[in-house]
Structure 1
Amino acid sequence: MAPAAETSPLTVGRRIRHFRTERRLTLDDLARLTGSAASQLSLVENGRREVRVSLLQQIARALDVSPADLLEAEPPTRRAALEIALEEAQRGSLYATLGLPAVRASKRLPTEALEALVGLHSELARRESEASATPEEARRANTELRLAMQARDNYLPEIEDLAQDVLRAGGHTSGALTHRTVQRIAANLGFQLVHVRDLPSSTRSVTDVEHGRIYLPPQSIPGGHGLRSLALQAVAHRVLGHGKPATYADFLRQRLEITYFAACCLMPRDAAVAFLSSAKKERDLAIEDFRDAFGVTHSHAAQRFTNLATSQLGIRCHFVRATRDGTLVRGYENDGVTFRTDVTGAVEGQAACRHWAARTVFDHGERAGEFHQYTDTPSGTYWCSAQAGEGTDGEFSITIGVPFDAARWFRGRETASRSTSTCPDERCCRLPSADLASRWADASWPSAKMHAHILSPLPRGTFPGVDDVEVYEFLDAHARGEGRATRP
């Protein structure tokens, strides 16, 4: 038989060396006893040659042990374990990229030095495996993901199907998804939803895989309707078979997939398409109606609309979330509208045109309903429906826009509000008029507001932005029954 799959040649070699030295035998002695060449045995002990079954049996007889003793996966001593770890690390591709010489773990190398070297290699590997990236890499990864979704019309049928199966198993048939049904869905997957008051500040939820618990904020917090989405996103990792993200791009993809899954559950495809198709037939499509029918936020309804608009309704569209000062937080389009981009192709952080509905909505006096506007752009004329809101980070707007011809399907198409945008031409809204510039360029000195994100480092870690110490202490406290759970 060959060495067990879980036992590396290096471990087998170190076990042979351990028993050989324990019996005070040299390589030449063992070579005579087994009828082999000492050079061949040296290669075996150093893990550079896999030992043949016949030779393994001869070595075992010479050392007065069984073949099984030589094939155990555990290194024979702590020192041997360190030597194996060092050797395997130095043979890896990560160390090869450093261009450094290998350190031989000879008997003269102190154990403390060996411990330090192995520790350094372990930390190097950990840092390399973190889902981190430079800001430029992160923005490129986000852009690639956005373009990939654009190519698919923002529609992922495989996740749609999975969500429908999960909802069916949870007993959901129609109407808004209740928190009780979400609890059943979690239970079907072996998890209990636990609301706590001491959730780590760097997390939205924490899953204890060992004890089958998903920790969420208290149900009584303002905006608690979002708790269903948080719970579904936590469940989605299990449903979608996610492993720990290996790269920042992998982390972003997983975030998109769990958000998509939660939206599929809150606004199931069949029910959502039936609702939207009926409204389209009546030429009365409205995001606010879609939002209210399924009990979700305006932002969630608008983003979900982009999943179904093209694939199910034949309508191309764009989505914009922007702040009060016009900073574009999120954008999607498959209708040809032009977003400003940076050198990486990212739209996030760019300024939305001052003449777009995403910004003019803030000048609209009545905010109870949606604001509608036609905008003439270099890419064509678009009809947009926007709504302003306010969150913990300040005011924001949510916009869904469609090409002029598609406006006929929507409520608000009769609006008289019209604007013209020539962006990305800087003269459209980025540069002051010549008269204003002449009057104030040398007579003004504004004090700029510092945006916090400018000085913030890009989040690092397996789950970027999460404080591992805080999370592990939280889990440990709750596992011991010392956490702060909310009352039933």
Structure 2
Amino acid sequence: MTIGRRVRHLRTSRGMTLEDLANAIGRAPSQVSTLENGKREPKFSQLQAIARALGATVEDLLSAEPPSARDGLEIELERVQRGPLFASLGLAGVRVGKSLPSDALETILALHHELERLHTQRAATPEEARRANAELRADMRAADNYLPDLEEVARGLLAEVGHTTGPLPERMAAEIAAHLGFTLHYVSDLPHSTRSVIDTRHHRVYLPSTGMRGRSNARSALLQSLASHVLGHSEPGDYGEFLRQRVEANYLAAALLVPEKTGVRVLRDAKEARAIAIEDLRDAFAVSFETAAHRFTNLATRHLGIPVHFMKVHESGILHKAYENDGVRFPADALGAVEGQHVCRQWTARVVFGVEDRFNPYAQYTDTSSGTYWCTSRVENTADGAFSVSVGVPFAHVRWFLGRDTTERAVSRCPDEGCCRVPPAALADRWSQYALPSARPHASMLAAMPSGAYPGVETTEVYRFLDRHAPA
């Protein structure tokens, strides 16, 4: 269409009629008209003939820029009317010609853009998000939760700042930021919907001045922020891309905090001694238990030959994050998504909330419909409540772990509702006619996924924040 508009623009600017141009290239006027209206793609030899007749070059005709603002509007409307969204409306197309005023063109296009926005927002339902989550989990399972390209990026960054072994100090994390050309700014008014904000214009990273308890949290927040920049993340096109970007940023940050080479060495030594413990990995690299558990799931299958599963469960029993390649059956909905599902009360991830000793790790064997699993779990408190973080393996692999001598054991018959969903008969008889609870559902159960370039982030608030802090 752009080629056709450029031909028409050059023809009329030279005072030529359709017949004049048609005669000059040996074609019928109707063929030239079809070409100018973008309904036929010209051959290169035909473009050469047209260029000679118009006193122009082929490059002039192939330029991607519309010849005028009006032509740009007409081209966009033509494309809109040929698209699937317009076709689904069942409406007759508007004839695009000189008789159509420019303000009418602009109004029609504005209405179409609003339709596209509403259509995209309607598509971003919880169902779409759960489907994207299920697809991403399947991809990570197929890769054994190991991403070699990101491991290579982490190795390169650490080498560039001279870090060779041991825990990554907070000073070295700041050096990574400086190496990438960023300065760090700790502020008290970070937008409430963000964990950090990068200003690529002024090369600044904004981090919260409060709420980051301990050096591990401070390093993680900084490295996760920088990871998105290093990986070239831009505005996600859909929820699946948003989730993938988040997984990649978290993975790269963890690979910087627990480098592959030294992390594998620690784990292999522990396996040889039959003394693998997530706490030891945590302490060796001065990271949180959750980061250590994540990193173990990245490295366990590829480097140790151990299949594994990981869970992060809220104190309410809701599954927030999960990964598995060991055959364990997580609770799942009809779309295969596990996030947001209730975990069996008999599983380690739920039992641990009732354990008084929060200093020592809790371990348990659980007999399930897909086999017997050993799992170790810890509870971590956050601003959103308490979460258990758990790592588990099939019974055949428990010999490599500390805590295998636990006497704690449970039986789970889930997804059979009689396991833990249906109350005991005597309890139900006493209360079924008298209980009237008021549900406390999360808003996302009923609403579409948060809209915007980055789901859940209030863009206006971010822009105003950058305005306040931009250097004069």
The TM-score, its normalising length taken from structure 2, stands at 0.90
Provide the secondary structure at the position in 1 that maps to 2:465: helix
* Alignment counterpart, residue 421 of structure 1, candidates 412, 419, 422: 412
2:6 is aligned with 1:12: yes
Provide the secondary structure at the position in 1 that maps to 2:307: coil
- Structure 1 residues 414, 55: closer, same or farther in 2, change over 3 A? closer
Q: Distance in 2 between matches of 1:32 and 1:247?
A: 50
Q: Is residue 27–residue 38 contact of structure 1 (8 Å, CA) maintained in 2?
A: yes
Q: Distance in 2 between matches of 1:436 and 1:130?
A: 44
Which amino acid in the other structure matches residue 397 of structure 1?
A: S
* Alignment counterpart, residue 146 of structure 1, candidates 131, 137, 144: 137
- Structure 1 residues 287, 57: closer, same or farther in 2, change over 3 A? same
* Alignment counterpart, residue 177 of structure 2, candidates 179, 186, 190: 186
Q: Deviations over 1:7-57 (max 9, x none)?
A: 93034134225515xx4x643455567775432332343234545223222
Q: Distance in 1 between matches of 2:58 and 2:430?
A: 92
* Alignment counterpart, residue 55 of structure 1, candidates 50, 57, 60: 50
Q: Distance in 2 between matches of 1:364 and 1:129?
A: 45
Residue aligning to 1:377 = 368
Number of aligned positions between the proteins: 468
Q: Distance in 2 between matches of 1:264 and 1:132?
A: 34
Which amino acid in the other structure matches residue 423 of structure 2?
A: P
Q: Give unmatched runs, 5+ long, in structure 1.
A: 1-6, 482-488
Shift of 1:335: 1.9
Q: Is residue 195–residue 215 contact of structure 1 (8 Å, CA) maintained in 2?
A: yes
2:387 is aligned with 1:392: no
Residue aligning to 2:231 = 240
* Alignment counterpart, residue 466 of structure 1, candidates 428, 432, 457: 457
- Structure 1 residues 373, 136: closer, same or farther in 2, change over 3 A? same
Which amino acid in the other structure matches residue 49 of structure 2?
A: S
Q: Distance in 2 between matches of 1:193 and 1:130?
A: 35
Q: Is residue 317–residue 333 contact of structure 1 (8 Å, CA) maintained in 2?
A: yes
Shift of 1:123: 4.2
The TM-score, its normalising length taken from structure 1, stands at 0.87
Provide the secondary structure at the position in 2 that maps to 1:139: helix
Q: Is residue 2–residue 66 contact of structure 2 (8 Å, CA) maintained in 1?
A: no
Q: Is residue 21–residue 53 contact of structure 2 (8 Å, CA) maintained in 1?
A: no
Which amino acid in the other structure matches residue 324 of structure 1?
A: E
* Alignment counterpart, residue 291 of structure 1, candidates 282, 287, 291: 282
Q: Give unmatched runs, 5+ long, in structure 2.
A: none
Residue aligning to 1:170 = 161
Residue aligning to 1:84 = 75
Residue aligning to 1:437 = 428
- Structure 1 residues 211, 100: closer, same or farther in 2, change over 3 A? farther
Q: Distance in 2 between matches of 1:133 and 1:302?
A: 31
Q: Distance in 1 between matches of 2:169 and 2:446?
A: 41
- Structure 1 residues 144, 32: closer, same or farther in 2, change over 3 A? closer
Residue aligning to 2:353 = 362
Residue aligning to 1:115 = 106
Q: Is residue 131–residue 464 contact of structure 1 (8 Å, CA) maintained in 2?
A: no
State how 1:213-362 maps to structure 2 within 5 Å: 213-218=204-209, 221-223=212-214, 225-362=216-353
The range that moved more, 110-119 or 128-137, is 128-137
Shift of 1:232: 2.2
Q: Is residue 131–residue 462 contact of structure 1 (8 Å, CA) maintained in 2?
A: no
